[in-house]
Structure 1
Amino acid sequence: MAELLYRLGRFSAHRAWIVIVSWLAILAIAVVGFVIGFKPLASSFDIPGTASGQVTDKLAEKLPDLAGASGQVVFSTTDGDAFTSTQKKQISALVDGADGLPDVSDVVDPFDTEKERADQAVDLDDAVAKLDDGQAKIDDGEKQIADGLDQLDDAQKQLDTAREQAAAAGYPTDQIDAQQKTLDENRAELKKQKTKLADSQDELDAHRTKTELGQQLLTYAEGIRTVSKDGSAAIVNVAFDLARLELPESSKQAVIDYFEATPIVGVEVSFSTDIAQGVPAIFGVGEAVGLVVAAVVLLVMLGSIVAAVFPLVTAILGVGVGVVGSMAFSGIVDMTSVTPVLGVMLGLAVGIDYALFIINRHRKQLRAGTPVHESIGLANGTAGNAVVFAGTTVIVALLALNITGVPFLGVMGTVGAVCVAIAVFMAITMTPALLGLAGEKLLTRRARAKRVAVIAEHERVDAAAPAAPAVKPMSTWRAALTAIGAVVALLVVAIPALSMRVGLPDGSTEPEGSASYTAFMTVQDEFGAGANGALLVAAHLPAGLDDDGVLQAQVDVASTLMDQKDVTAVAPIAVSDDNRLAAFQVVPAEGPSSESTEQLVRDLRATEPVDGDITLGVAGQASINIDISENLLDVLPIYLAVVIGLSLLIMICVFRSLLVPLIATGGFVLSLFATFGALTAVFQWGWLADVLGIHSTGPILSFLPVILVGILFGLAMDYQLFLASGMREAYVHGASARVAVQRGFRAGRAVVAAAGLIMVSVFGGFVFSESTMIRSIGFGLAFGVLVDAFVVRMLLMPALMHLIGRGAWWLPKWLDRIIPNVDVEGAALERRHHVV
């Protein structure tokens, strides 16, 4: 590999313009592909096969109107007063005209909804009044019948007495018999009327039961409103034909454009995140500042403007090719809005670092008198060889995201891997080309003058490279204190991770003043926090229920739901045609990202079947977010094991040691948990939130831990490689194990420190993005690199290597024979080409 890279470097240096034009042509092809194939990126996330997904599938089969995406358009008065009649009419007119929008299936007028609810309450009250009136009439009828029967009983007694007297006197009873007949007929009529009254009573009781059930359901739904109590805010519910992940961004934008096109005086319109969640800007002011800081670090490290510009040029060009080229496939593969941002982060950071490693090696060789093109080839074969293996580690970690079974995460990893791969190719081709064009101008005038003197001295005495300066190993007590101190510090920083919660962002995390943030806060203030995270509960009903049975089942389910802790309102919203599936809207006490809402979802899923045979399922955006978060946490250990396992194999081949890779991995685990702790403290607990401009705290982005595992492990192994390879090189060339640690550390510390600062600067620039998602990713990567590079790689790792001594380089003989010798340091290449 080293020899191949040496030749590639010399070729690129000699044919610089061919290489440069080729890359520009590739960028042009990527731009053309982007123009042709780009599709707006998705702002939502989902995982197939979740519990919420199964409920949604069932709804799509039985109640398709509820299976599509939905969102809210929120109207509020600017002065806080109730809507005027004119404003209400204008809002209703907008709602009436929105049915023709693309993929929109229904738009609900909030004022009509409130009127219907009020009318329903009035109708129920009227029905109760009529029932009470009917009951009074029945009671009166029963009293009259009872009185009539009493009168007939009295008449019967009198008639019986008359019959006895007539019989005793021998008088005929014809008249008495006629009276008896009339009496019996009257009694039969009264019994008939009593039967009718009983039937009427049964009918009235049935109506009363139905009315009481309706009143009970209406009572449960009291907390669900579409117009605020003070009349200053209204929610327009918009339903779409397509599912959330299938809904194009253009359809959401059409809703926004429509409702914003006709402004209403004194009324502000905003949109829920389901409709208007912002797609984060790929590059902004914070990112530009990060690049400026990286440029300053490069200038200080390399001491030349030309040398400092080259890594920036290659990184920016590589990012352009990688990100633009990847987004050209967004029409074929679903991509989330975070995907290109991650590509930019990684492409810039590793692109600058990888070019820096090669340029730094080339400058050292130039100063030592090596001819320009020979030095470029050697730098590409040595430092470039290390870049290839370092990049391979990052690529392996990113591609392994595909094993999580989470589609959007796999795409993010693939795009990130593509950007890193392009950064590697840019470093080993474009960087040598630029170095070839620069020639000796890469050095300052003073450095060029010293170079001439060095060459003259070599020619005069035919001198070899100067001997390495004497180096003393660190003291053992210092190594022990350093190791203990580093471990303790990392563990302390990691403590907040014990309480880390994960979730997806809601409208409260959107930029202040944005439509989504305004809508979220308006709904929270006017309708309650839970109105932003309503759950959709599906109840599977038993077969054979008639309409009355369905109503009773709805009340039983609603009662069960209302009995749950942290439920403020429940409303039945639909029943399937076959009476086998009923849907309910459940409003929790708190917002979609709260712990209580998460627990409520778990409790509802664990609820015993209602009435013994009615099972419940939970869907809705809040439920989907919870499912995604839990699934990602479940795959994290598997992903961590696979990434570490594959990378350990690579490092064993590179370092020809078992303990060095294990030390590197153990240090990474410490820095990873420290990063989790810092993320929790800042984004969940709110520490330093004001300093970073974080206006809302909450759970950590659900897929961030998985992403950090992959990216930080790959980057950590980069620095491990550049430091430990120097240690191994010194050890192989005869230095004692402890001296080799110190010599390798001194040889690599400057470039690793610069590379670490550059990565922290680039990632840190994204901390000031408007998107909380991007903020947390940028902070996590910046803090992770900072801790791993400066605490683990430059303090803990050398200290442990010193304490272990020769054992650090132990490798079983049988394993030494079967693993390939990758010569990542390029020592064999240097011997072949007699580097000075």
Structure 2
Amino acid sequence: MATYLYRIGKFAYRRKGAVLSVWLIILVLMGVGAATLSGPTKDSFSIPGTPAQQAQDLMAERFPDAPNPMDSLSARYVVQAPAGTTLADPANVKAMDDMLASIRGIDKVADSAKVDPATATPEQAAKALVNPVTGNDSMVAMFKEKAAAAGTSETRAVDDARALSPLSADGTVGYVEVPFSGDFADLDQALRDSINSAADVGRAEGLNVQVSGSAAQEAEMPGGVTELIGIAVAAVVLAITFGSLVAAGLPLLTAIIGIAIGSLGITVATGFMDLSSMTPTLAIMIGLAVAIDYSLFIMSRFRHELTLTDNRAEAAGRAVGTAGSAVVFAGLTVIIALVALRVVGIPFLSDMGAAAAFTVLIAVLIALTLLPAILGMFGRKAFAGKIPFLSKRAEESENDDSGKPKLALRFITAVVRRPLVPLIGGVVLLGALALPATGLSLALPSEATGDPATSARQAYDLIDEGFGDGRNGPLIAVVDAKDASVPAGEAFAEVVSTISSFGDVQNAQVVGVNEAGNTAQVLITPKSGPTDPATMDLVGSLRGAEAGLNDSIGVSYGITGQTALEGDVSDTLKDALVPYLAVVVGLAFILLLLVFRSILVPLTATLGFLLSVLATFGATVAIFQHGWLGIISNPQPLVSFMPIFLIGVVFGLAMDYQVFLVTRMREEYVHGASAKEAVTIGFNHGARVVSAAAVIMISVFGAFIAEPNSFIKSIGFALAAAVFFDAFIVRMVIIPSVMALLGDKAWWLPKWLDKILPNVDIEGEKLSKALRDEKEAELQSASA
């Protein structure tokens, strides 16, 4: 591989014009595609095949005219009366009527909802937007009338009406559900502004009006600020590393081009697949960090090669052939970890991983081809713009004979001399940091976990305050009486009776029957809220009771609703964690086995990863869930798909530093150094650049803590923490200590395995031999 990459690097340096043109064409094509083919993002967390999704699919089949709650646009206006009044006060009734008139004037409000109830027919009035006060009075009267006709209890009728009432029992809080035509593709800022303007009408007349729902979700803040922060810090680190403004700018330039291509490619993909709004930001976060790091490693090696040869094309080829080999394998580990998310079987998570993997792939290709081409374009000015003092230190770092031992050499000498002390210290420290992870709690992003400053969260809290915990998280039982042994109406009543017998059920009632009369929707209002574990326990109990009804009267039902759907996603994620880890760790172990030709080095690398990821979970739980240090003003459970995504990404990044640092140790060992000498020399050569790379990654990831999205904020912190723990404690303390203890055994490989494993030559031994043979041939030819 090193020989092949050497040729690519040398070709790119010499044929810089052609290579630059190709990348420019790709960038332009991606830009055109993004401008013409892009579509909207969609935050849907459903999983095909889960019990809740199966019930949702049955409902869509039996009730084809009903809107799909996962894809339809709606808004909920939640209104609270001024202190000391109720919504029934004449001034408040007028304020709400004025607000409703403004809502009806919004273009995209469904036509059926625009009708004024005062002039509508009874059938039209049932679908029109109604003042919560008059709506409540009409609902109670209607339920009492139906109860009298059916001969049922008036008390039950009032309870059922209250469970559906848009007005709280004390009359201080009410809400209006507003359906909109179209789907998420029609959601734009103009619609959001119209929704908020209508709310302002009620606010201007003294009402507290908050808005939630899919149509009212706040637009994500435009990207760019957090990326700029990360790039700015990376620029400082690169300037310190190279002591040159030009050299510091080249990795940034290639990273920006790579991220532009990657993000534009993801934008094009939104026109053909459903991607969540978090996907582009997450892909940019990971892609930007690895892009700068990969270019940094090759640039650093290029500078080293210039101390050995005056031929800059040759130096570029050797840099790509050696450091580029490590870049390829490091990139592959990240890509494997991200693509393997497909094993989980969750579409939105698979797409998120694929998008991030795409940006990593672009980063690898950019580092191997575009960077040497740009080096060729700059020529001898690649390290121009030298910074006094910093440039001298950078030059001395390439010269082992430049004076007293460097800090890295003094540190690794101490570690190798007494490896048990740093080994035990590192393990204990990471173990202590991991302790808060025992209190890990997970949930999907929702209004319940949103920022208290947002209108959606305030609307959620008002509903909670006025109607009780369960109103924010209703469940739906889709009852199939097609094969029932009793009349459908009797089967529906039996299901309602069974469901109502559970202690955590506030109310259960039939809210819809299909045209065929064989399927009903039963609305279930729990006593507990959507984030309360008791609600998912209730879901499990309700599902468990279905078998008995099916055996006795042949009726079946499924439980769905947002709470049930999200709970099933969390359960699926938990079940998929072990298979995912097995696939990722197994494939990466094989890859590292090829790289290092050792059993123990990949094994210790994997164990070190487990330590760093556990410490990361502990720190993230402490900060974001428990609110330690006061960094987060709204501590909430972590997003339920964060652990599995974090494990995948951290594993890939951890192996990056393992590859970059330990391959240099193996290179020295292969070239004849003793095991301990190889650890010392390899660490001394690689520590400075690996430290710079780690600081850059920490800066890029840490900058995303400023993002408003809770998942992006927490994953940015977690990735920054993971890189810190893994790079500076695991790879620079624990791994060198272990390798010093193991000595020659670290590189042990069974002879039978050595014979069948392909030699990928990541250390460039074959390349060095080929170059020596070529030079000898040239000398012999010249002497002849």
Q: What is the TM-score with the length of structure 2 in the denominator?
A: 0.86
1:49 maps to what in 2?
A: 49
Q: Deviations over 1:359-381 (max 9, x none)?
A: 11112233455432222221111
2:118 maps to what in 1?
A: none
Q: Verify the 8 A CA contact 1:280 1:338 in the aligned structure 2.
A: no
Q: Choose from 593, 597, 602 the match for 1:656.
A: 597
2:130 maps to what in 1?
A: 109
Q: Deviations over 1:427-470 (max 9, x none)?
A: 1122112222333331538799999x99xx9xxxxxxxxxx999
Q: Verify the 8 A CA contact 2:242 2:391 in the aligned structure 1.
A: no
1:87 maps to what in 2?
A: 95
Give the match's secondary structure for 1:4: helix
Give the match's secondary structure for 2:151: helix
Give the match's secondary structure for 1:222: helix
Matched, 1:771 2:709: yes
Q: Choose from 224, 240, 259 the match for 2:195.
A: 259
**Aligned equivalents of 2:195, 2:474: Cα separation in 1:** 23
**Aligned equivalents of 1:445, 1:284: Cα separation in 2:** 28
The 1:290–1:694 alpha-carbon spacing in structure 2 relative to 1, beyond 3 Å, is farther
Q: CA shift at 1:272, angstroms?
A: 2.5
**Aligned equivalents of 1:279, 1:402: Cα separation in 2:** 28
Q: Which amino acid aligns with 1:338?
A: M
The 1:299–1:639 alpha-carbon spacing in structure 2 relative to 1, beyond 3 Å, is same
Q: Which amino acid aligns with 2:139?
A: R
Q: Which amino acid aligns with 1:437?
A: M
Q: How do residues 69-88 of structure 1 correspond to structure 2 at under 5 angstroms?
A: 69=69, 71-76=74-79, 79-80=82-83, 81-83=85-87, 84-88=92-96
The 1:471–1:769 alpha-carbon spacing in structure 2 relative to 1, beyond 3 Å, is closer
Aligned length: 731
Q: Verify the 8 A CA contact 2:413 2:680 in the aligned structure 1.
A: yes
Q: Verify the 8 A CA contact 1:367 1:450 in the aligned structure 2.
A: no
Give the match's secondary structure for 1:572: strand
1:755 maps to what in 2?
A: 693
Q: Verify the 8 A CA contact 2:705 2:714 in the aligned structure 1.
A: yes
Matched, 1:328 2:268: yes
Q: Verify the 8 A CA contact 2:189 2:219 in the aligned structure 1.
A: no
The 1:107–1:8 alpha-carbon spacing in structure 2 relative to 1, beyond 3 Å, is farther
| Structure whose CA Rg is larger | 1
The 1:73–1:569 alpha-carbon spacing in structure 2 relative to 1, beyond 3 Å, is same
- Structure 2: stretches of 5+ with no match in the other structure: 114-126, 400-407, 776-784
Q: Choose from 186, 208, 230 the match for 1:290.
A: 230
Q: What is the TM-score with the length of structure 1 in the denominator?
A: 0.80
Give the match's secondary structure for 2:762: coil
**Aligned equivalents of 1:110, 1:10: Cα separation in 2:** 74
**Aligned equivalents of 2:409, 2:45: Cα separation in 1:** 56
Q: Which amino acid aligns with 2:152?
A: E
Q: Deviations over 1:610-637 (max 9, x none)?
A: 5944544211111111111111221121
Give the match's secondary structure for 1:332: coil
Give the match's secondary structure for 2:419: helix
Q: Choose from 521, 541, 545 the match for 1:607.
A: 545
Give the match's secondary structure for 1:20: helix
1:5 maps to what in 2?
A: 5
Q: Verify the 8 A CA contact 1:604 1:616 in the aligned structure 2.
A: no
Q: How do residues 376-395 of structure 1 correspond to structure 2 at under 5 angstroms?
A: 376-395=316-335
The 1:370–1:225 alpha-carbon spacing in structure 2 relative to 1, beyond 3 Å, is farther
Q: Verify the 8 A CA contact 2:412 2:684 in the aligned structure 1.
A: no
1:418 maps to what in 2?
A: 358
Q: Verify the 8 A CA contact 2:598 2:749 in the aligned structure 1.
A: yes
Q: How do residues 488-499 of structure 1 correspond to structure 2 at under 5 angstroms?
A: 488-499=428-439
Q: Choose from 284, 293, 314 the match for 1:374.
A: 314
Matched, 1:816 2:754: yes
Q: Verify the 8 A CA contact 1:221 1:569 in the aligned structure 2.
A: no
Q: Which moved more, 1:702-711 or 1:793-802?
A: 702-711
Q: Choose from 721, 726, 747 the match for 1:783.
A: 721
Give the match's secondary structure for 2:167: coil
Q: CA shift at 1:30, angstroms?
A: 0.3
Matched, 1:250 2:186: yes
The 1:399–1:758 alpha-carbon spacing in structure 2 relative to 1, beyond 3 Å, is same
Q: Choose from 205, 223, 244 the match for 1:304.
A: 244
1:584 maps to what in 2?
A: 522
**Aligned equivalents of 1:779, 1:802: Cα separation in 2:** 32
Q: CA shift at 1:104, angstroms?
A: 8.3
Give the match's secondary structure for 1:607: helix
The 1:493–1:279 alpha-carbon spacing in structure 2 relative to 1, beyond 3 Å, is farther
Q: Which amino acid aligns with 1:118?
A: V
Q: Verify the 8 A CA contact 1:534 1:622 in the aligned structure 2.
A: yes
Q: Deviations over 1:481-505 (max 9, x none)?
A: 2222222322332233333232211
2:19 maps to what in 1?
A: 19
Q: Verify the 8 A CA contact 1:104 1:238 in the aligned structure 2.
A: no
**Aligned equivalents of 1:37, 1:26: Cα separation in 2:** 16
Q: Choose from 466, 477, 492 the match for 1:537.
A: 477
Q: CA shift at 1:671, angstroms?
A: 1.6
1:160 maps to what in 2?
A: none
Q: Which moved more, 1:406-415 or 1:214-223?
A: 214-223
- Structure 1: stretches of 5+ with no match in the other structure: 128-206, 458-467
Give the match's secondary structure for 2:615: helix
1:189 maps to what in 2?
A: none
Q: Verify the 8 A CA contact 2:55 2:559 in the aligned structure 1.
A: yes
Q: CA shift at 1:41, angstroms?
A: 0.4
Give the match's secondary structure for 2:636: coil
Q: Choose from 563, 570, 591 the match for 1:622.
A: 563
**Aligned equivalents of 1:789, 1:42: Cα separation in 2:** 35
Q: CA shift at 1:224, angstroms?
A: 4.2
**Aligned equivalents of 1:342, 1:471: Cα separation in 2:** 36
Q: Which moved more, 1:385-394 or 1:502-511?
A: 502-511
Matched, 1:738 2:679: no
**Aligned equivalents of 1:623, 1:252: Cα separation in 2:** 29
Q: How do residues 80-159 of structure 1 correspond to structure 2 at under 5 angstroms?
A: 80=83, 81-83=85-87, 84-93=92-101, 101=109, 108-109=129-130, 111=132, 112-120=134-142, 123=145, 127=148
The 1:794–1:115 alpha-carbon spacing in structure 2 relative to 1, beyond 3 Å, is same
**Aligned equivalents of 1:311, 1:114: Cα separation in 2:** 64
Q: CA shift at 1:230, angstroms?
A: 4.8
Q: Which moved more, 1:524-533 or 1:336-345?
A: 524-533
**Aligned equivalents of 1:102, 1:378: Cα separation in 2:** 65
Q: Choose from 273, 282, 288 the match for 1:348.
A: 288
Q: CA shift at 1:529, angstroms?
A: 3.2
Q: Verify the 8 A CA contact 2:589 2:602 in the aligned structure 1.
A: yes
Q: Choose from 712, 720, 723 the match for 2:650.
A: 712
Q: Choose from 636, 645, 648 the match for 1:697.
A: 636
**Aligned equivalents of 1:728, 1:429: Cα separation in 2:** 26
Q: How do residues 407-446 of structure 1 correspond to structure 2 at under 5 angstroms?
A: 407-441=347-381, 442=383, 444=386
Q: Verify the 8 A CA contact 1:271 1:519 in the aligned structure 2.
A: yes
Matched, 1:406 2:346: yes
RMSD: 3.3
Q: CA shift at 1:241, angstroms?
A: 8.4
**Aligned equivalents of 1:275, 1:795: Cα separation in 2:** 51
2:468 maps to what in 1?
A: 528
**Aligned equivalents of 2:495, 2:672: Cα separation in 1:** 78
Q: CA shift at 1:25, angstroms?
A: 2.1
Q: Deviations over 1:772-797 (max 9, x none)?
A: 01112212211111111111111111
Q: Verify the 8 A CA contact 2:168 2:174 in the aligned structure 1.
A: yes
Give the match's secondary structure for 1:212: coil
Q: Deviations over 1:684-737 (max 9, x none)?
A: 22223x31x442412x21221221122111111110001111111111122211
The 1:374–1:727 alpha-carbon spacing in structure 2 relative to 1, beyond 3 Å, is same
Q: CA shift at 1:824, angstroms?
A: 1.0
Q: Verify the 8 A CA contact 1:534 1:586 in the aligned structure 2.
A: yes
Q: Choose from 738, 745, 759 the match for 1:800.
A: 738
Q: Which moved more, 1:17-26 or 1:88-97?
A: 88-97
Q: Which amino acid aligns with 1:679?
A: T
Q: Which amino acid aligns with 2:356?
A: G
Matched, 1:319 2:319: no
The 1:449–1:360 alpha-carbon spacing in structure 2 relative to 1, beyond 3 Å, is closer
Q: Verify the 8 A CA contact 2:76 2:213 in the aligned structure 1.
A: no
